Chains A and B, each alone.
Chain A
């Protein structure tokens, strides 16, 4: 080995990585921020994570159920209203018919007398 190679060899030996101070890892971990970083590929998949999926499904079912219930209620009210109107109309017709019949009977009786 020539002088340069000697020096390079010594440098490689002398510059092996040093041991870091005791407790280094614990100190780094203690300084980590509260919120963990999420790799970008996980960020993109957040929607499809089970919790999100279930929450979304529950909300959608709730909205669909509410809409259906409101629709049924409106139909029932409309049906009841129509039925009431029909009954009223029938009652009025019956009353009118009775009235007409009564008048007819009266006039017929009057003529014969």
Chain B
């Protein structure tokens, strides 16, 4: 059915950055992030008839990307996803040439957060969702989402105070 395949290709092209970014920023690993992002789109293809609208599509992609990425993280215990190994990761992880320095720094700080905080920060600042929307999506109490956000910001600020100050100063 070329019609559906053509339409599906357009959807992949339109939403791949969002899905890949979620996967990458949860996992911190490009290869696994791409695998997860591909799986998300293949799952979308199978669930195609359940998608009712564009808004539903975006919400579906966000939700499934977050869940599949956190699943992959659980299956890979050696992946850095705990604050305790932040310093190790900082010294090992190479800078990505194509990323802006600010984006790289923010991603480093994000990846050092505990998974739940990382996901909440990602949904708040990459996806621009309100805390209530995050709570609904993750089926988490609103107070917990707000608490994760506050703790995450505090941790990030504490860990990268100098770097962030420098960026703030130079605009």
Contact = CB atoms under 8 A, between A and B. Distances in A.
Interface string A1-44: 00110111011111111111100110111011100111110010
User: Number of contact residues on A: which range applies?
Assistant: 20 to 34
A8 B124 CA distance: 10
B5 A36 contact: yes
Nearest to A15: B126
Residue among A3, A17, A33 having the largest count of chain B Cβ atoms under 10 Å: A17
Interface stretch (B12-20, B66-74, B134-142): B12-20
Contacts of A17: 17-18, 20-21, 126
Contacts, number: 110
A29 B13 contact: no
A3 B157 contact: yes
Contacts of A32: 5, 8, 42, 45
Given A6-B164, A20-B37, A15 B12 contact: no
Contacts of A4: 153
Interface in B141-171: 153, 156-157, 164, 167-168
Contacts of A43: 49
A18 B122 CA distance: 12
Interface of A: 3-4, 6-8, 10-21, 24-25, 27-29, 31-33, 36-40, 43
